[in-house]
Amino acid sequence: EAGVTQFPSHSVIEKGQTVTLRCDPISGHDNLYWYRRVMGKEIKFLLHFVKESKQDESGMPNNRFLAERTGGTYSTLKVQPAELEDSGVYFCASSQGPLETQYFGPGTRLLVL
């Protein structure tokens, strides 16, 4: 069974540009989560989808971040316009049910210059 996949693995952009990250959860997992780790600190929650609905977006830093999960399959996280402090590793995770263990993807390393 394929795990959580994320694309791209790395992205280097300039401040003010737009970047879109993609996450494909494990097949059949209705719950999809986005997290971010900045500069070796803790991994911080961004938001949680149940199918195509946003269950919890309390961790989204500001309105420059937009997450979507059309059709309840893969999800995208768009940062527009990107700022220097958005640099970090963005992880996606999925679980079958909300109380089930979350399985993480390899992450997208974003560097904003």
Partner 1 sequence: DQQVKQNSPSLSVQEGRISILNCDYTNSMFDYFLWYKKYPAEGPTFLISISSIKDKNEDGRFTVFLNKSAKHLSLHIVPSQPGDSAVYFCAASMASGTYKYIFGTGTRLKVLA
Name the site residues for partner 1 (rule: CB under 8 A): 4, 6, 31, 33, 35, 40-45, 48, 55-56, 58-59, 91, 93, 98-99, 101-107
Number of residues in the chain: 113
Whether the CB-CB separation of 70 and 53 falls below 8 Å is answered with no
Report the residue number, 76 or 80, with the smaller CB distance to partner 1: 76
Q: How far is the CB of 100 from partner 1 (least distance, A)?
A: 9
Q: How far is the CB of 45 from partner 1 (least distance, A)?
A: 4
Report the residue number, 82 or 89, with the smaller CB distance to partner 1: 89
Buried b (16+ CB within 10 A) or exposed e, 64-93: ebebebeeeebbebebeebeeebbbbbbbb
Amino acid, single-letter form, for residue 5: T
Report the residue number, 44 or 78, with the smaller CB distance to partner 1: 44
Q: How far is the CB of 81 from partner 1 (least distance, A)?
A: 26
